[in-house]
């Protein structure tokens, strides 16, 4: 059986449980597949996701 350290991944200098990462990934997939909308009415698309992702990566690198 894997130890807790073996089930976790480093993320932005924090240790996130692999299950939490999987839940987040699955939530994004579900939003994409269902055509979910943001509060401002924009539909979550692959392009919008990539824009948000790229913006977050830039912010992380700037810290």
pLDDT digits (tens, 9 = 90+) for 19-60: 788 899 999 999 999 999 999 999 999 999 999 999 999 999
Give the domain CATH number at 26: 1.20.1220.12
CA distance 8 to 16: 6
pLDDT of 3 strictly over 80: no
State the residue range of the domain holding 39: 4-62
First vs last C-alpha separation in the chain: 36
Q: Which of 39, 50, 32 is nearest to 58 (CA)?
A: 50
Angle at 50 between CA 49 and CA 56, to 5 degrees: 90
In this prediction, residue 14 carries a pLDDT of 63
* Number of domains present in the structure of the chain: 1
For the cut 90, the answer to whether the pLDDT of residue 10 exceeds it is no
Task: Provide the whole-model pTM.
Answer: 0.65
């Amino acid at each position: 059986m894997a130890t807790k350290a073996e089930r976790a991944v480093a993320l932005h200098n924090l240790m996130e449980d692999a299950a939490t990462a999987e839940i987040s990934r699955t939530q994004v997939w579900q939003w994409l597949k269902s055509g979910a909308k943001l509060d401002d009415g924009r539909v979550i698309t692959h392009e919008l996701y990539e824009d948000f992702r790229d913006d977050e990566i830039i912010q992380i690198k700037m810290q």
